[in-house]
Structure 1
Amino acid sequence: MINRLPGLSLPDRAWSTVRRWAVAWWRILYLGAVVLVLVLSPSSYGRGTRRSLARHLYLDTAPVLLGFTVLAALLSLVLTRIVVVTALSYGLSRYAMEMVIRVLVLELIPLTAALFVAMRATIPNGTQLALLRQSGRFDELRAQGSDPVRVELLPRVVAGVFASITLAALSCVVALVMGYLGVYGFNLAEAEGYTRMFGRVFTPSVTTLFALKTVFFSLTVALIPMAAGLYDAEGSTQPDSELGGLARMFAVLLLIEVASLMGNYY
């Protein structure tokens, strides 16, 4: 922005940056409210929309399901081994599995699932949405009496949320199983103690925060790339708009993670 407007004074440049920042966040909040209304509206689930929604649910979830499950299993084994060996070296073996669950399941898995869905599904969908808008697809839908947000954006947002929650839930189960196998092996003798320890970690408050964090992660990676694709950044080209949307998405994910850590440990 500074290079494109060299004639502006420093206060004008600062005001322009703040204004663009405020407009971008306002558009995200506004779009989120619109999507919420559409999700709760029965008229959003007509025959054409249902078909599009089912297609996006499948395309955003099924192709990445196996790959992410394998990644989650490998990550679980590696981190479990690191944590257990470190705990043994400091004489804290009794806390090793609890540390694995807190670090892996509570913190890393939901964030990893959200980022994986963002990179594989929602960011490409946001780019595709921008291309559809630029090619005149939205104008065609309006001429036919259809709402482009309802037809093209809503299925992508819902599919992104569904994919993120599904991968997070599945990978948490995989992490718990692989964590147990990594420490105890194929031996069910410790299953009862492992279950009790799991219950001590997942108290009602921790479970509530975990569920809320997963949902907010899913909404963030599903909505912000769509907003970047639906709107051009004021005074910039489309690549800058996508980069700004990516930065805003990571900022929100970081804030959610910090809030979760404060809720769990402070």
Structure 2
Amino acid sequence: MLLLGAIALVLAFSPSTYTREHRRATARQIYLGAWQVLPWFTALSALISLVIIRIVLVTALSYGLSRFGLEMVVRVLVLELIPLAAAMFVALRAGMAFNAAVLDPLASDRSEQAAWRLRRNLVAEVSGNAFAVLSLAIVSSVLVLVLAYLNVYGLSPWGLDDYTRTVGRVFEPTVAIGFGIKTLLFGLAVAVIPAAAMMEIQRFGRNGESTTQPGAVRLLFVLTVIEAASLAVKYF
């Protein structure tokens, strides 16, 4: 898994990789993994986030802690739940399949030509899935920030000063850098782990383990470790 991730990163940053065929394949994966699902994923996340925002704000108001409600919304939704939800969504929809139409036949074909075709598609798949996680997380986070402002201050522009101070207090430099690193690691995990699992199947066979998606348990474990490490660094 680590070796495949290193190879994918080296190939992604190598100028010789970006031939016309590769650019077309990468654009297709970005379209399928991110752009095609961006509108309805954003709408769904906005609907769920709106419910959570109202619950948090009303609860904080009932306990006389309304000044902390907005900060709690930003910390819980934007910093933690939205990136994790984006990673899980991409993993379930695209990452686990790893272009099943191409790789399922390759799993039983162990010829050199099949291995070459697998390597040819590697960077496109990894880049597309990683970009999907980043784009879904960033767009949804921005929308949640807008919804949080509207729920607290309405359409009035007079709350911008207090709002920007609150959000700025949450997104201090170390937290902002950690948020970016965590989201990037989520994207790399979703992109690399299913691919590594499919390559193991191609090399060693299924060994009767065909009832679950390749790499599902491993991916869930890695995402949990990344999230736990992020929480530990920020709050401990």
Same fold (TM over 0.5): yes
Bigger shift: 177-186 or 79-88?
177-186
Which segment is superposed worse, 242-251 or 75-84?
242-251
The amino acid of 1:255's aligned partner reads V
Q: Which amino acid aligns with 2:210?
A: P
How far does the alpha carbon of each residue in 1:128-173 deviate from its partner, in whole angstroms, 9 at most, with x for none? 453141364964356xxxx334411210110000110001110010
Structure 1: gaps spanning 5 or more residues: 1-27
Q: How does 1:132-151 map to 2 (within 5 A)?
A: 132-134=105-107, 136=109, 139-140=112-113, 147-151=116-120
- What corresponds to 1:170 in structure 2? 139
- Structure 2 unaligned segments of length 5 or more: list them: none
- Structure with more contact order per residue of length (Cα contacts < 8 Å, sep ≥ 6): 2
Residue 235 of structure 2 corresponds to 265
Provide the residue aligned with 2:59 in structure 1: 86
Rounded Cα–Cα distance in structure 2 between residues aligned with 1:68 and 1:196: 29
1:29 & 1:91 partners in 2: Cα distance?
49
Please list every run of at least 4 consecutive aligned residues from structure 1 whose deviation after the TM superposition is greater than 4 angstroms: none
Who is 2:75 aligned against? 102
Question: What is the CA–CA distance in structure 2 between the aligned matches of 1:224 and 1:29, rounded to whole Å?
Answer: 9
Where 1:124 maps in the other structure, the secondary structure is: coil
SS at match of 2:210: helix
2:179 is the counterpart of 1:210: yes
In structure 1, what is the equivalent of residue 23 of structure 2? 50
Query: Is contact 2:103-2:118 (8 Å) kept?
Result: no
- 1:243: how far off? 4.0
Deviation at 1:61, TM superposition (A): 1.1
**Corresponding pairs, count:** 234
Does the CA contact (< 8 Å) of 1:225 and 1:249 recur in 2? Answer: yes
Give the distance between the partners of 2:111 and 2:27, measured in 1 at CA. Answer: 21
Aligned partner of 1:23 in structure 2 is none
Cα shift at 1:235: 6.8
Report the equivalent of 1:222. Answer: 191
113 and 186 in structure 1: CA distance in 2 versus 1, 3 angstrom threshold: same
TM-score by length of 2: 0.92
**CA apart distance, 1:124:** 2.0
TM-score, structure 1 normalization: 0.82
Greater Rg over alpha carbons, structure: 1
Question: How many Å separate the matches in 1 of 2:38 and 2:110?
Answer: 31
Mapping for residues 4-43 of structure 1, pairs under 5 Å: 28-43=1-16
Q: Cα offset for 1:238? A: 5.0
- The one-letter amino acid paired with 2:139 is L
Q: Would you say 1:245 and 2:215 are equivalent positions?
A: yes
Is the contact made by 1:156 and 1:222 (CA closer than 8 Å) also made in structure 2? yes
Match of 2:93 in 1: 120
CA distance in 1, matches of 2:20, 2:214: 35
Q: Percent identity?
A: 47
SS in 2 for 1:237: coil
